[in-house]
Amino acid sequence: MAIAASSNYLSGAIWPLILADILAGQGWRAAYLVLAVTAVVVMLPLSLLLRAGVPEAARAEAEHAATLRARATSFSPRSLTILLSIAGIGCCVAMSMPQVHIVAFCTDLGYGPAVGAEMLSLMLLGGVASRLVSGALADWLGGVWTLLIGSSLQWLALMLYLPTTGLTPLYIVSLVFGLSQGGIVPSYAIIVREYLPPRIAGERVGLVLMSTVAGMAIGGWLSGWIYDLTGSYQWAFLNGIGFNTVNIAIMLLILSRSRLSGRTAEAA
């Protein structure tokens, strides 16, 4: 899961550097056009390769493994899905603040958009390492603990942005942020598979991950609106910290109401 999810962060580290000259010379519309054409030309043919069905033996083995790793909670599947969706919005509103606005933030500080693009690349490259480490951590601790650790580190990184204005410290904080938040979103899929029956896991993974996308969209807009209102990104960072706190609280709540299922205990 972590290895597959690292690819979009790897592309996020590469694309800003590729598009920097296009942004500077032809503007954001040309950069978006390049991304759109690339997505159609590359992603659609590759998606056809995923149409092959999973062999029945492999499917049965995967379902058996999910059963052995099952965890139980006093929340109903619907309640757990709602909680995870709220948590997804919370963590991604926070996550979107640096990811969406780091270029504008650097421009405000007088460093220019090219420096912001470099920081974004560094941030997302750190996310690749974070996702790989988080995947190994999830095998050991489970999805909720992995998400809680990542979310707590993301909260700390957002706090570090508040007093930071120097160029070198901003590069360091951006790397720390990238290393903190990369494993958060893939952990939701792991949590769903650990807590919910396999027959509904696919639907619930889609719903929860859709909430994280909504959080990124809301967070990017909300941070910009706060900046327009206050003339500063300080309150936008504080807004992200507040949403991140909600995410941490929900993970702690799920942990407090969780236990290994009987099936897992018997298997152990």
pTM score of the predicted model: 0.78
Judge residue 31's burial from the number of C-beta atoms within 10 Å of its C-beta, 0-12 exposed, 13-18 middle, 19 or more buried: buried
Summary mean pLDDT of the chain: 85
Q: Are 248 and 94 in contact (CB under 8 A)?
A: no
Other CB atoms within a 10 A radius of the CB of residue 27 amount to: 10
Taking residues 177-196, report their average pLDDT: 89
Taking residues 190-198, report their average pLDDT: 88
Cβ contacts of 251 within 8 Å, gap of 6 or more: 87, 144, 147, 148, 151
Superfamily of domain covering 2-48+69-267 = MFS general substrate transporter like domains (1.20.1250.20)
Distance of alpha carbon 55 from alpha carbon 184, whole angstroms:
30
Distance of alpha carbon 247 from alpha carbon 100, whole angstroms:
19
> What pLDDT shows up at residue 264?
41
> What pLDDT shows up at residue 139?
87
pLDDT band for position 267 (cuts 50, 70, 90)? very low
Kindly report which listed range (18-22, 39-43, 87-91, 263-267) carries the lowest average pLDDT score: 263-267
Q: Where are the domains of the chain?
A: 2-48+69-267
Measured at the CA of 101, the angle between CA 95 and CA 106, to 5 degrees, comes to 125
Per-residue pLDDT of 64-115, as tens digits, reads 555 545 567 778 889 999 999 999 999 999 999 998 999 899 988 888 888 8
Q: Percent of the chain at pLDDT above 90?
A: 42
Per-residue pLDDT of 34-68, as tens digits, reads 989 998 999 888 888 877 666 666 555 555 555 54
> What pLDDT shows up at residue 222?
95
Based on its alpha-carbon atoms, the radius of gyration of the chain, rounded to whole angstroms, reads 20
